[in-house]
Amino acid sequence: MPNMPASIDMKQFWQAIGQRATGSTIVTARSHGGPAGLLGLSATHLCADPPTMMVSVDKRTSALPTILDARHFAINYLSSAQRELADIFGGKSDLKGADRFTTAAWDRLATGAPTLSEAVGVIDCELVETIERYNVVIVLGRVVATSSNPGAIPLVHFRGDYLP
């Protein structure tokens, strides 16, 4: 596969990407080895018919094998009250693996993936396809269940930090 053109400065690239506001999510799955999750700032819908979501996951992310083994994932959109949880799943904590799940209340919808009880919204997906590109795996999932909390204020990531 072709490499990124040498004329692109990576610091400038990430600065430009940081100019878009994104909903902060925790992407979760559960396999025979237990639950796993990651902070997902690249989770979005692919299409509405059929309802399909996609998440870009770095190949080095410890949760990726669980997602691939379980063949499902849930996208949990965080509320503004869950910034600490975003930091935990974003690797800014000493907690690792299943221990990350001890800091909040979790439920399940259709697939068995952990779903955050106090999330702004949850989209539960069955994995339908993966696409490997460069150092990421793009995970595509058919939506099988949803839940929402319309009164909650979302945690928005912008310019490397969170909006108040």
pLDDT digits (tens, 9 = 90+) for 31-78: 999 999 999 988 999 999 999 999 999 999 999 999 999 999 999 999
Give the C-alpha separation, 155 to 46, whole Å: 21
Q: How far apart are CA 109 and CA 90, in angstroms?
A: 23
Calpha distance 141→125 (Å, rounded): 5
pTM beyond 0.85, yes or no: yes
Alpha-carbon distances of 132 from 34, 39, 47, 92, rounded to whole Å: 24, 19, 19, 27
CA-only gyration radius of the chain, Å: 16
Distance of CA 87 to the CA centre of its chain: 13
Whether pLDDT at 2 is above 60: no
Give 70-90 pLDDT, tens digit per residue: 999 999 999 999 999 999 999
Give residue 7's pLDDT: 82
